[in-house]
Amino acid sequence: MISLYIQLNNQAQSYPLTTLSLDQLDHYLKAFVDCQRKYLSMRNNKQLQKFIDNFHEKQLFETISIYHLTIIDRNQYINRLMNIREKQATIYEELLMLEMRVLYKFLPKNFDQLE
């Protein structure tokens, strides 16, 4: 424990203490707020799009249910809806993988060891 303290103390002495001006702090804080605002906006837009897609899907289902379609027509519409849902799931998986890759690049290398 003492050797760790000594190592940390040596490292702290080897790096000079620098201070940032108020303008620099202000600039970095504004950049951080802008980044967080963009992230929240993107997340909200994704949730809104998901809500719109679900609403549209329910409207289509109600439209199909109202009309007296033959079994063949009904099956065709259901198959089309299932294909659309499968494409949406594929696109969502690709988006999730892209987000994970981006996050992985920005996380520290020892992230898995952190608690």
**C-alpha dihedral sign at 11, 17, 18, 20:** positive
pLDDT score of 75: 83
Yes or no: say if 64 and 77 are a contact pair by the CB < 8 Å rule.
Answer: yes
- pLDDT classification of 60: cutoffs 50, 70, 90: confident
**What predicted TM-score, i.e. pTM, was given to this entire model?**
0.40
- pLDDT classification of 110: cutoffs 50, 70, 90: low
pLDDT score of 5: 80
Q: What is the mean pLDDT of residues 20-48?
A: 89
Nearest-5° angle of CA 74, CA 77, CA 67?
Answer: 50
Q: Where exactly are the structural domains of the chain?
A: 21-67, 68-108
In percent, the amount of the chain with pLDDT more than 90 equals 23
pLDDT score of 24: 86
Interatomic CA distance for residues 100 and 93, integer angstroms:
10
Q: Retrieve residue 30's tokens.
A: 């504004």
